[in-house]
Structure formats: structure tokens, C-alpha cells
Structure 1
Amino acid sequence: MLSYCTNVHPAEDLDGVCAQLARYAGPVRAALGEQEIGAGLWLAADLAARLVAEPAALHRLKSEVADRGLRVVTLNAFPHHGFHDPVVKHRVYRPSWADPERLRYTLDCAEVLAALLPDGGSGSISTLPLGWRVPWGAAEEGVARRRFDELAAGLRALEERTGKRIRVGIEPEPGCLLDTAADAVAWLRGCDPNYLGLCLDTCHLAVSFADPVGTVREIRAAGVEVVKVQASAALHVDDPVAARAELARYAEPRYLHQVRERAPEGVRACDDLPEAWDELPGGGPWRVHFHVPLHWRATGALRPTTDVLRAALGALPDPLPPIEVETYTWSVLPDPPDDLVDGIAAELAFTRELLDARELP
């Protein structure tokens, strides 16, 4: 199922979410000429808890989804709240998986998703890779291990009660405790593979300069399931020194934009774009964690890492997991579009073309 992620919209209460689905999701479906499209919902923590506690509120959301011609098979439970605050940066990684609130939020999202799925259906939820790399120690690691055991038990009980299996995918991200897909695969050893797997974000994969085909093979060889793909693209620049003025336009204050430089001795790291010119030598190509529109054409020295997305999709076997287009940065682009509906529809159409043209290994 191909979906677009609604974390692009700032609404965090039920009225706002319903209004955004009416304003954007329904018109996107109409622009594509489809009877039904996928919507990967993002529900802030307070709203997820309310939907679990209030059947009338959950019924209203289900009706809104159906009325707009939407189908929900996946949720994004990475941001907990405040994802469109003026400054987000490191706050998006809180609460971590050492905090009981993260478990509560994720299980609330699972309850909501189960209610939105048809009888016998299955779905997936993406979550953060434990948290930012600091502060973290042995105590937090042990707590997080127990939390994931509790998560698997909760998802198992949910399936027994509803007949619907929800899988949670850890989404590795540069700078986090689970920085790469290999980190996430290693951490998932010992977790219940029936309910816990990996969310493959192709922007994050590109930033790390990983081989997408080799990464997918390694994930499969380890017996870890990719329960969700977030179709996304990073910024790539071959000569960051020469392109400094172009890149500087993307150094906006809301989100964290991790930078990686490929060097002969390996990959160098910087946690945010504004500091990268001081912390990285700039002698090799850079990739920047800035989710650019998938159909975006290269301008000047900058180009999107769509080739990584294409290769990863080709390496995944059928049947594909849910594919969620996750470009949440439209409002902070240097040149935001006049009409977000057209932008989202163009991304979905572009991704559909990639899926139709993929060649299996």
C-alpha cells in the first residue's frame, strides 16, 4: 500500500486532523484520480490517548478517513508531539524508549490502527531508534530492552483480542543510538520477530552513504523483517565548499539536519547543517538529512538521493511492506510550493512510477 505521511500537517487535536484530511488528503486523492489512497497517519500523543479512551472520537476519525476515500495501514509514531513547533531539533527524540511514556504512546497508536484496519487486516507503526545517542547508559539500555518486551507482549495481546497484527518498526537515523540499519538489526536480535522489525527510511539510508541493495540483503539475511518503508530523499552535493551558498538556504531552524561527508578513511559526521562547515573539511561529497520532495529536480550543485530510494525498492522482495512517502519539510523549503496538494500528489505519482518500474534482483 502506497501512502503519504500526514506528519506534514501541523494539526495535533481531532478537529485539526479532520480538517487537514478534508483540506489535503481528500483533494490529493481527487488530483490523482483515485477512488482510494493511503494515508499514513501521525497522531500526537494526547490525541492518540483520547482516541483510545473515547469511542465517539475514534468513530469520528474512522468516518473521516472513510469519507475522504482514505485507507490507513500504517502510523508514524516517531514524533511524540510538537512536530511543527518553531524549534524541534533534538526534542523529536524525546521521550526515549527509556521513558514509560514512549511505550504508552506506541501502544495507544497500535490500538487506534487496529480500529482503523479491516477485519483480519495487518499494519505497521514506525518508532524512533531508542533515542538520541546522549545521554544514554547501561541503565537506560536495560530499561529499553524491557520496554520492547512489554511492547511485543502488548501487540500480541492486541492481536489475540482483535485478530489484527500490528508490527512496530525501529527507524534508524543518523546521530541516534541506532544510527544505521546494521545497528538496528543488531539491537533487534532477541526481540520477537512477529511484532518487531525495521522501518527503512531511504533518506536516512542515503545520508549514511550505505549501499541500499547490500543493506536490504543484510537485513533479510539477519531474519529481520522490513515492516515499513519511508520513501524519502536526502540532499547530495559533490563539492560542499563551492555550493555553500546553495546549501545555506537549507539551514533552517526547525529541524535537525545531520550531515555526513564521505572521506577516504570513512564517513565523517556532523549533527546539524549550520555547524558542518566548521566541523567537516568539505573535501568529499556531503549528504544532508533534509527530506526533499521525491520528484524534485536537481538545481545547481544540489541533487536528491532518489537513486537510493529506487535501488532499495528494487532490492525488496514481493510482497512489499507499506510504502509511506514522508516529506514533512514542505513548509521549511527555501522555495515552498504554492499548493501543497499538487506537491503531495506529484510525489505519490512519482513513487508509483518507481514502484511500477522496479526490477526485482
Structure 2
Amino acid sequence: MLSYCTNVHPAEDLDGVRAQLAEHAEPVREALGADVLGVGLWLAADLAERLAADPAALGALRSELDGRGLAVRTLNAFPHRGFHQPVVKHRVYEPSWTTPERLRYTLHCADVLAALLPEGGRGSISTLPLGWRTPWTGHDEDAARRNLNRAARGLSRLAERTGRRIRLAVEPEPGCRLDTVADALAWLPGCDTDHIGLCLDTCHLAVSFADPAETVRAIAAGGVDVVKVQASAALHVEDPAAARAELARYAEPRYLHQVRERGPDGIRRCDDLPRAFDELPGDGPWRVHFHVPVHWRSDGPVRPTTGVLRDVLTALPGPLPDVEVETYTWTVLPEPPTDLAAGIAAELAFTQRLIDDREVS
């Protein structure tokens, strides 16, 4: 099912989530003329814990979703809380998978998703790629693997109890312990891959300059499943020096915007766009981790990497996994939209056309 991720909305309590369903998700569904709209819920840790322990509140949420023509098949459990604070940056990677807090949050999200899925349904939960790469020790490595396998056992017990199978989707991201898909493919086989696979975020993939078709082939050869695709686009700039003024418009203070430069000696790295102007030579093309709308078009020097999304959807074999449009940056764009619901609807319609084109070909 195609969904849009609700982490674009700042709500972190139940009243706020219910309001975003009424004020955004249902209007998006109506704008699309769809009978049912997929929403990939983001639930802050405190709310996930409350819902997991309160069947009445969870039942009321499911009734509200049903009444508004909304369906939940996937959750985004990457941000733990505070995703719309004035400054998020590295805090989005906390707590890491080395901690019991990350394990507990993920299993609470699984309990919630199981209650929202149809009987016998399947779902996915995307999660962070272990944590930020520093500091990271051998002890951290062992702790993260233990906790992910504990999560897998919890998901197995949940399936036995509810009849609903939920899989965890680890999402490689630049700068993290699992920076690239190749890193994840080297790490994940030590986990329970029946319950743990990949979340293939096409913005993150683009930033790494990896070839989409080759990446999909490597995933298949590595014996790891793509459990979820996050449909997203990064920024591409062919000549960063000439585009400095335009790029600077995206150097906002809330989120981390990792930059990669493709040079003759390989990929050069910088952890945030404001620093990249001083730390990178700028004599090769840049890719910037800034989730811009996937349907955005530009004739200027700064362009979206929508072609990477198209190529991934084309290369993936068989039926697609959960596909979630994740543009959480609408409110920090240089020119934020006046009608957010219309923007989300346009993104979803564009992505659905890409999916339809894939199925026709």
C-alpha cells in the first residue's frame, strides 16, 4: 500500500494525532478522490507506550481511522520524540539500538500496529540504522545486535498472539553506523532476517551516489528483504560553487543535512550542509540529505533526485513492499507551501503514477 508519513506533522499526543488525521490526512484522501488513503503513522515514544497499554484508546484510534477512510500498514519508528523541536540535528538518532529504550519503543509501536492491521494482515516498522557512527565501540556493536534480535523475538511472539506479521525495516542513512545499503548488507545477516530487513530510503540512497539497479541486485544477492521503501528525493547540484547562494537557502537549523561530493578520489563527506561550504572542495557534484517533494521540478542548479526513486521502483522485482512517501521537511523548505494537504496529495499522485508505470512496463 502507498502511504504518506505523518512525521511531517508535529503532534506527539493522542489529541494532536487525531487532529492531524482530520486536518491533513482526510483532506489529502479527498483531494486524491480515494476511498482509502494509506498513512504511515509516526508516534512519539510516550504516545506509543500509552496506546500499547490502553486497548480502549487504541480501539478509538482505529475507529477514527476507519471513519475517515484511512488505513495504517506501516509505522515510522525512527524519531523517538521531539522531531519538531527548533533544533533536532543528531538527537534524531537517540536513543540508539544499544539501549533498552529503543527496544521498548519499537515493541510498543509493534503492539500498536498489530491492533491497527486487518485480521491476518502484514505490516512494517522502519527504524534507525543502529545509531550515529560516533562514538561507537565493540560493546555498542554487541548491544545493538542483541537488542535487534530481542526485537525480532518480540515480533515473532506478537505474530503468534495476534496472527499479524510485522517486520522491522532498518534504514541506512549517511553518517550513521550503517551509512549505506552496503553497510547494512554486511551487518544484517547476523540478525534474524525473517523479522528484520531493509528500509530503502531513496533520498539516502541518492546521497550515497549508489546505482539504484545495482543496489537492488546486491540486496537480492545478500539474502536480505526490502521490507519498506521510503519514497523520497535528495538535492543534487552539479556545480556547488556556482550554486552556493541557492544551496544556502536549504541550510536550515532544525534537521541534519548530510552532504556527499563525488570526486575523482571517491566520495567526500560532510555531516551538515552549513559546514560543507568550508569543508568540501566543491569541484564535483553534491548530493544533500534534504527530503524535497518527490514531484518537485526545477530548471535551476539545485534539482531533486527523483530519478533514483523511479529507478528503484523499476528495479525491485515482484510485488512492491510498503511504499511510504516521506517528506518531513515541508515546513522548513525555502518556500513552504500554503496548502500542505494539496502538496502531499500531489506527491502521492505522482508516486502512484510511478508505481503504475512500473506495473504497466
Q: TM-score range by the shorter chain?
A: over 0.9
| Aligned equivalent of 1:70 | 70
Report if the CA contact (8 A) 1:181-1:215 is conserved. Answer: yes
Report deviation, 1:192: 1.4
| Aligned equivalent of 2:278 | 278
In the alignment, structure 1 residue 9 sits paired with structure 2 residue 1: no
Report deviation, 1:59: 1.3
Report deviation, 1:293: 0.4
Distance 2:167 2:77 in 1: 12
| Aligned equivalent of 2:265 | 265
Computed over aligned residues only, the root mean square deviation of the Cα atoms, in angstroms, reads: 1.0
Report if the CA contact (8 A) 1:41-1:74 is conserved. Answer: yes
Distance 1:67 1:339 in 2: 23
Report deviation, 1:286: 0.2
- Counterpart secondary structure, 1:189: helix
Which whole-Å deviations, capped at 9, do the CAs of 1:264-322 have from their partners, x for residues lacking one?
A: 11100000000001110000000000000011111421110000000000011121100
| Aligned equivalent of 2:160 | 160
Matches within 5 A, 1:41-56: 41-56=41-56
Report if the CA contact (8 A) 1:126-1:170 is conserved. Answer: yes
| Aligned equivalent of 2:114 | 114
Distance 1:351 1:331 in 2: 21
Distance 1:11 1:249 in 2: 26
- Counterpart secondary structure, 1:3: strand
Report if the CA contact (8 A) 1:316-1:360 is conserved. Answer: no
Matches within 5 A, 1:1-361: 1-358=1-358
Distance 2:271 2:360 in 1: 35
Distance 2:152 2:352 in 1: 32
- Counterpart secondary structure, 1:261: strand
Report deviation, 1:85: 0.4
Report deviation, 1:56: 1.6
- Counterpart secondary structure, 2:312: helix
Report if the CA contact (8 A) 1:290-1:329 is conserved. Answer: yes
Residue ranges of structure 1 left out of the alignment (5+ in a row)? none
| Structure 1 counterpart of 2:141, one-letter code | E
Report deviation, 1:360: 8.8
The list of structure 1 runs, each at least 4 consecutive aligned residues, that deviate by more than 3 angstroms after superposition, is: none
Report deviation, 1:67: 1.2
Report deviation, 1:190: 2.3
| Structure 2 counterpart of 1:91, one-letter code | R
Which whole-Å deviations, capped at 9, do the CAs of 1:221-262 have from their partners, x for residues lacking one?
A: 111000000000000000000000000000000000000000
| Structure 1 counterpart of 2:144, one-letter code | A
Which whole-Å deviations, capped at 9, do the CAs of 1:15-71 have from their partners, x for residues lacking one?
A: 000001100000000000010010000000000000011112111211111111011
Which whole-Å deviations, capped at 9, do the CAs of 1:150-201 have from their partners, x for residues lacking one?
A: 1111000000000111000100000000000011111111211210000000
Distance 2:87 2:353 in 1: 35
- Counterpart secondary structure, 2:190: coil
Report if the CA contact (8 A) 1:315-1:360 is conserved. Answer: no
Which whole-Å deviations, capped at 9, do the CAs of 1:111-157 have from their partners, x for residues lacking one?
A: 00000001110000000000000111011111111111111110000
Report if the CA contact (8 A) 1:257-1:271 is conserved. Answer: yes
- Counterpart secondary structure, 1:347: helix
Distance 1:347 1:299 in 2: 19
Distance 1:254 1:15 in 2: 24
With structure 2 as the length reference, what TM-score do the two structures score?
0.99
Report deviation, 1:359: 6.4
Distance 1:317 1:37 in 2: 24
Report if the CA contact (8 A) 1:297-1:304 is conserved. Answer: yes
| Structure 1 counterpart of 2:151, one-letter code | L
Distance 2:313 2:120 in 1: 26
Residue ranges of structure 2 left out of the alignment (5+ in a row)? none
Distance 2:27 2:128 in 1: 30
| Structure 1 counterpart of 2:165, one-letter code | R
Distance 1:250 1:148 in 2: 35
Distance 1:359 1:339 in 2: 31
Aligned residues: 361
Distance 2:279 2:17 in 1: 40
Distance 2:61 2:47 in 1: 11
Percent identity, aligned pairs only, is: 73
| Structure 2 counterpart of 1:263, one-letter code | G
